Structure 1
Amino acid sequence: MAAAPQPPGPPQYRVYRARRFARTRTAGLEALRQRRKSGTPLRPRGPLTVGRVLRWLVVAAIGWVLLSLVLFLLSAQLEAGPGPETEQALGGGGNLLTGATVLVLGTDERTGASIDRSQTGPPRADSIMLMRASLGGVRKLSIPRDTYAEIPGHPAQKINAAFALGGAPLMIETVENFFGGAVRIDHVVQLDFADFPKLIDALGGITVENKSRICSPPFDNFWRGINFPKGKVHLDGQRALGFARVRKNRCAPNETDLNRAERQQEVVNAIRRRLLAPTTFFRLPLVAWRAPKALVTDMKGPALLALFADMAVGGSGGNAHVLEPSCLSCGPGSSIIVSEGAKRDALDYLLGR
């Protein structure tokens, strides 16, 4: 009987396939070496077209904006807040999407790294502004610093004294009581006069519309005084701060604290215009880094970014809205008196009623 056939052995082509792969790989590596020696590109480059250049520019622009956002959020995160007492005094019920009321304070610090090292004493609120910010819109209302007001726990006097007596918490309470409790302050922003000029310089300066010639005698650290012509004036950071803080104008001796408040709002409007200028795009990372450093606020990075966006896109660049007085320098201590009707009208404007 014949023996059963044996099953076939393993395929004999494994060595053959391996050798063929090795030869192919060796040939490929040799081809690459030859291309490199001859300078021939590994992949053929397509022609440089307008579409390709535009795509590169769009990618670069997106990267530039993202870098600026990261720097803004990082800078805001590194800045200290106003303190727990101030945060407890805030209403905290509004947000920048549906509407929030922000108290903006500029103070005349008189000691340390002050803008005015020649004086002593507690700081007072040099500028007081309420901002009603919501998605795509901002309304601004300036309160003259000499306005007569009841200060909780203290005698009635000029409203800017509240900051000297109790800092931002008492200032918040005083402003809310001034309007009869009809408005709650959700956030506070205090301008840092040491870093505010640096923000203006990061923007490349601002251009303001000066309504009257200014001839100011010496004040603060402006030992030689300040002079500004009427009309459009381009200012660097230090001169912009001086423009906002001019107290006396020899060229217009009839100016009052209301004119000063209007100049402060003009500085805010000029910053907004500069933010929207095309040339600011090239400065965006530096501006993003400097902006949070010019402020002391309870708002964290995203909320502060939303406020800047609302100011840039929806902030009104029109005439300044200043609280209308009943009479000037006729109250105690030459203070400004504001009627209850004027307060209601101002709140109607601020809240959009």
Structure 2
Amino acid sequence: MESSKNKPIKGRGAQQHVHNRFFELSHEQRDDFLNYCEAEGEEADKNRTKYIDVFPKSFVNKVNSPDVGMGFSANPYQGCEHGCVYCYARNSHEYWGYGAGLDFERNILIKKNAPELLENKLKSKSWQGDTIVFSGNTDCYQPIERNMQITRKCLEIMLKWKNPTGIITKNSLLLRDLDILKEMALLNIISVNISITSLSEATRRLLEPRTASIKQRLKTVEILSENNIPVRVMMAPIIPSLNSHEILPLVKKVSELGAVDVAYTVVRLNGQIAKIFEDWARKTIPNKADRILNQIAECHGGTLNDSRWGRRMRGEGAIATQIQDTMQLAKNKFLKNKNIPPLDNSHYLEIKNPQTRLF
């Protein structure tokens, strides 16, 4: 009989608590929980998700990484109940006094003052209407957004100021805000990135246990495209021997639904994520674990942890090259001459400086 120690936790990505390398703090936490696994016939993790109000002094963050295609990001929430086991944002939870494992999924920090901070930023003299991406770290449409509506309030402000906006999400809750997105699309100030790592629901439930189903995400791509809202699909990350064989069918499918681009990354397991991912692999896919871990390491110079600029997101070696070539083949075949148009910040500049209309 399988011992409880080695039995995977249903409805969670991380399978263990991970000690915070920096410090441990006690926090007063308020309790709430929505069980998204029971609808799929699973006995979910019984630990209740805790939502904690925080009040940061700033909300829009400058992104300095040359490997990330964004200049500014904004994250209404820290931590993410979606529970994607590979998520690079897990490490950032340590700076809030929590662990990168189950704490990341169970302790969600809510920035209730985000809309106010955002508007102050757009009003500031130094702001020039650069694109702000929701979210560069944790998903802005994770389950608690249904109640809090912080992302929606932020989008209302972005539309009010006509500031270019990007969205990255794997949750079909995005469609709740279709009314705002359609208005933004008419001004060419919105693009949406939908994360779809697999066409297999079984794979999705292992990798991303509390996210929207693949069927719902594909439908989201279709509905956005029908409403002339530019959609890029993010196949991120690609994990060798787990979803790497799905590149061609996935690109074909999303192109048929109206996506105009597909981007990808090769999985990298920095900081505490390597430990979390290996533990997850050995508990949930034990027969494939060694092969997958060895091939990930092969893509990153023999280690799971890769921080090298320019290589960390794409990898190197034979497997990474094969992934790159297959993705290029798929895009040439199914998305040739398609792309996301540059967003327009002239509307924002006219609001900020009405004199520009004279020129």
TM-score normalised by structure 1 residue count: 0.24
Higher helix fraction: Structure 1 or Structure 2? Answer: 1
**RCO higher in structure (CA 8 A, sep ≥6):** 1
TM-score normalised by structure 2 residue count: 0.24
